[in-house]
Amino acid sequence: MTTLFTVTEENLETGLRGIPVGYCRTSSVDPQKGLFYCGHPIAELAGWPSEKVIYLLQTGKEGTAAEIEHFTDQLKEHANLSDAVISHIFNLPREGHPMDLFSAAILIVKMFEGTGDYQKDCLNLIAKIPLIAACVINHHSGWEKGIDSDPSLGYMENFSRMVKVPNCNQEQLGDVLKLFNILHYDHGGGNLSAFVGKCVASGLQDLYGSVAAAMSALAGPRHGLANQLTLNFLQRMQADLAGDLTEKGVRSALEKMVEKKELIYGFGHAVLRVEDPRATVQYALAKEKFSDNSLVQLALLVRQVGPQVLQEKLHVACPYPNVDAISGSLLTAAGFAYPEYYTVLFGVSRSVGIALQVVYERLLARGGKGTPIVRPKYIYRP
C-alpha cells in the first residue's frame, strides 16, 4: 500500500491540516484552479439550475433532461414539512442565535419526519432544507409569522420567495441567493462542518442528527462567520473613507490596517494560491447588477489593491480574494442586509454536500461496509 503521508510531531495539534483521512467523491479543491464539483470547475456550474448541480453531486454525472426533470420532481415532492414541524420551529426561542435555531429545527424534523434510512433522509433533507431555513429566518427576524411555500417554483426560487426580506428587489435577490447557494454546496471532505458531520455519522447517528452537528460546527466564527466578518470589515472601511472611493484612498486605509496589525478579511485561503473562482463569479455578478452600489464599488477596489498590499507588506502565501470577499456585499446590495442570517444561508447550501458525503461514508465506502467509527489516537503528554 502506498504511504500518502508521514505524520510528524510537528503535525500534531495543527487541526489535521493537510493530513489525508479519507476520500471525497463530491468535490475537490486545486490550489491553482479552485473548486470542482465531480470534476467540473465551479465557474462552469454557476449558471446551471440548482437541481442540476445537486444531481451532479449526488450521481457524479450531468444527467439527461429527463433525469434532471425526474430528480426535480422528487425534490418538489419531498419539499414540504408537516404542520407540527413548522409549529415547533416557530415556537423556538427567538433569543437564540439563528444558527442555534437552525440546528434545533433540523433536529425537530428528525424527530417528526426522520426515517433512519440515510438514503431517504438525504433526499428529504436536501429537499426540505430551504423551507427549514426560511421558517427559522422568518421566525427569528419577526418578518413573518407563518410560511408560504410553493415548491413548483423551483429549489431556490421558492426559497427566495419564502424568506420575507423587507423592501428588496425580489428578482435581484433571487439571482444572488441562487448563485450563493450553488457556490457553497461542497468544498472537499476536510472542512470542519463536513468532517464533523461525518464523524458524528460514524457513530451511526442518523443523517438529520449528523447534519445538525455539522451546522453547529459551521456556526463557529472560524468557519461560517467569515462573510459576515468581511462585510463588517468593508463597512468600517467605508465609514472611515468617508466617500473617498479611490485606489489611493483604499491603499492608504489598508496599509494603515496592516501597520496596526489589524486583519484584512476576505483574503487568503488554506489551499488556494490564486483568486478563488467562486469570488471571481460573484465579482462578475456584482459588476453586472450592482455597479452603482458604493459598498460593491469599495469591494471591487479592495479586490484590486488588497493583494498588492498583502504581498508588499506581509508577503503572505495567498494574498488573493476568497469566496467571502464579496458575498456579504453582494447580498447587502441585493437587499439582504441582515448578516446575522448569512451563516444560515451558508448552511442551506453546505447541508447538501455534507448529506451526500455522509451517505457515501455510511453506505458505499469500503465496498458497502461503511467507514468505522472515527477514533484517532491521542498521545499522552503530561
Is the per-residue pLDDT at 256 higher than 80? yes
The confidence score (pLDDT) of residue 1 equals 59
The confidence score (pLDDT) of residue 3 equals 73
The confidence score (pLDDT) of residue 33 equals 95
The confidence score (pLDDT) of residue 243 equals 86
Q: Which domains does the chain have, with CATH numbers?
A: 72-222+342-368 (1.10.580.10), 226-333 (1.10.230.10)
Whether residue 150 lies in the annotated active site: no
Question: If you average pLDDT over every residue of the chain, what do you get?
Answer: 95
The C-alpha atoms of residue 143 and residue 141 are separated, in whole angstroms, by 5
Average pLDDT over residues 336-365: 97
Whether residue 315 lies in the annotated active site: no
**Burial (Cβ within 10 Å: 0-12, 13-18, ≥19) of residue 315:** exposed
Whether residue 269 lies in the annotated active site: yes
Is the per-residue pLDDT at 172 higher than 70? yes
Distance of CA 359 to the CA centre of its chain: 19
Average pLDDT over residues 263-280: 92
Distance of CA 136 to the CA centre of its chain: 17
Q: For residue 308, what are the contacts with CB-CB under 8 A and spacing of at least 6?
A: 251, 319
The C-alpha atoms of residue 295 and residue 237 are separated, in whole angstroms, by 10
Catalytic residue among 121, 139, 269, 276: 269
Print burial letters for 142-175: b (CB count within 10 Å at least 16), e (below 16).
eebeebebebeebbbbbbbbbbbbeebeeebbbb
Residue the block writes with cell 448552511: 347
The C-alpha atoms of residue 135 and residue 101 are separated, in whole angstroms, by 10
pLDDT band at 319 (very low <50, low <70, confident <90, very high): very high
Residue 195 near residue 357 (C-beta atoms within 8 A): no
Strand ranges across the sheet with 27-30: 27-30, 34-37, 40-41
Residue 27's DSSP bridge partners are: 37
The confidence score (pLDDT) of residue 190 equals 95
pLDDT band at 290 (very low <50, low <70, confident <90, very high): very high
